[in-house]
């Protein structure tokens, strides 16, 4: 199929959703409609893309064949797929929903069942990347759901990503994403503590980062967040509030599996603390504000 054969709607046009929509438009796909609870944000993006800013979820479904959702949390996801009132499920027969939010795996399972009951199909498209990658179409994208749905929307997925993985049935991609973010968050807090202690000892932090990069202390987080922690540059690409949410999803999975994860628990408490002191919208690197001497 050609890109022009797809008519795409996007629900949730914050940093990630808006940039996914921009990239798909640039790549030749027809973006017909955007929607957000912040109607002014949707209207501004619609003017930029030359599409409709729908005033209801049902209007997005009516205007598109494939609908990408990038909502904030489980509650928002259940709201847009409600079985009552305004919903993406209204007259949804034949539609495909590609759901990209980081939410509990069970919600993806439930949404698949709701979509199929409405004559539609769904796929989870879990993103392990950030805003820049959404805009450039270079996401690391993990998908879960029925394989035939994955195959049918493959052109959209290929456009959005450079690393595309079909993980398995509904909920499994979200499980993998939760584990990715859990480990990333642990690494971020560990790096903040290491650099914070180095600062307290009066060490050269540039030298310390170089040593970390050449030893067992190395991590992808060192590459992305190390300098930002030192410079106190916490422009948001992945917020501390989202880190707290995602660590919570992983801890929920651990409880269900009967496992105790003390590092994940301690990490969530650090990000919960960021929210408590009004710094939840800082990038996850902002957790260094809790560990460097003289910041707090």
Give the global pTM: 0.92
CA-closest candidate to residue 66, choices 136, 131, 150, 139: 150
Q: How far apart (Å, rounded) are the C-alpha atoms in residues 121 and 212? A: 46
Same fold, 3-170 and 175-290: no
- Of 121, 149, 2, the C-alpha closest to 61 is 121
- Whether the Cβ atoms of residue 267 and residue 186 lie closer than 8 Å to each other: yes
- Cα 172 to Cα 123: distance, rounded to the nearest angstrom: 11
- Is pLDDT above 90 for 2? no
Domain positions in the chain are 3-170, 175-290
Please state which CATH class domain 3-170 belongs to: alpha beta
pLDDT tens digits along 144-178 = 999 999 999 999 999 999 999 999 999 999 999 99
Token pair 């690391």 in the structure block, residue: 140
Query: φ, ψ for residue 124 (rounded to 5)?
Result: -90, 135
73 to each of 2, 69, 100, 192, how far by Cα in Å?
33, 11, 11, 27
Q: What is the pLDDT of residues 111-156, one digit of tens each?
A: 999 999 999 999 999 998 889 999 999 999 999 999 999 999 999 9
Residues in a beta bridge with 97 = 67, 122
Q: pLDDT tens for residues 219-274?
A: 999 999 999 999 999 999 999 999 999 999 999 999 999 999 999 999 999 999 99
Q: Tell me the C-alpha distance between 277 and 242, whole Å.
A: 15
Per-residue pLDDT at 239: 95
Domain over 175-290 is classified CATH 3.40.50.2300: no
């Amino acid at each position: 199929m050609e890109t022009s054969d797809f008519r795409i709607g996007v629900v949730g046009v914050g940093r990630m959703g808006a940039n996914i929509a921009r990239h798909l438009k640039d790549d030749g796909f027809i973006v017909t409609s955007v929607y957000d609870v912040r109607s002014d944000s949707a209207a501004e993006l619609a003017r930029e893309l030359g599409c409709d800013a729908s005033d209801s979820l049902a209007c997005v479904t009516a205007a598109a064949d494939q609908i990408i959702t990038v909502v904030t949390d489980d509650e928002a996801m259940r709201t847009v797929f409600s079985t009552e009132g305004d919903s993406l499920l209204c007259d949804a027969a034949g539609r495909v929903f590609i759901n990209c939010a980081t939410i509990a795996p069970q919600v993806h399972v439930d949404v698949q069942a709701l979509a199929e009951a409405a004559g539609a199909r769904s796929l989870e498209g879990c993103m392990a990347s950030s805003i820049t990658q959404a805009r450039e179409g270079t996401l690391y994208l993990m998908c879960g759901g029925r394989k035939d749905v994955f195959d049918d929307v493959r052109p959209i997925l290929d456009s959005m990503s450079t690393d595309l993985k079909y993980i398995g049935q509904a909920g499994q991609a979200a499980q993998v994403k939760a584990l990715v973010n859990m480990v990333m968050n642990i690494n971020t807090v560990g790096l903040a503590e290491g650099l914070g202690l180095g600062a307290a000892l009066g060490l050269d932090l540039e030298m310390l980062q170089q040593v970390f990069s050449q030893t067992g202390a190395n991590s992808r987080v060192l590459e992305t967040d190390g300098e930002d922690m030192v410079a106190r540059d916490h422009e948001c690409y992945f917020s501390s509030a989202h880190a707290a949410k995602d660590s919570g999803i992983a801890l929920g999975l651990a409880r269900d599996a009967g496992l105790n994860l003390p590092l994940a628990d301690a990490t969530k408490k650090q990000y919960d603390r960021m929210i408590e002191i009004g710094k939840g919208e800082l990038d996850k690197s902002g957790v260094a504000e809790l560990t460097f001497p003289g910041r707090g």
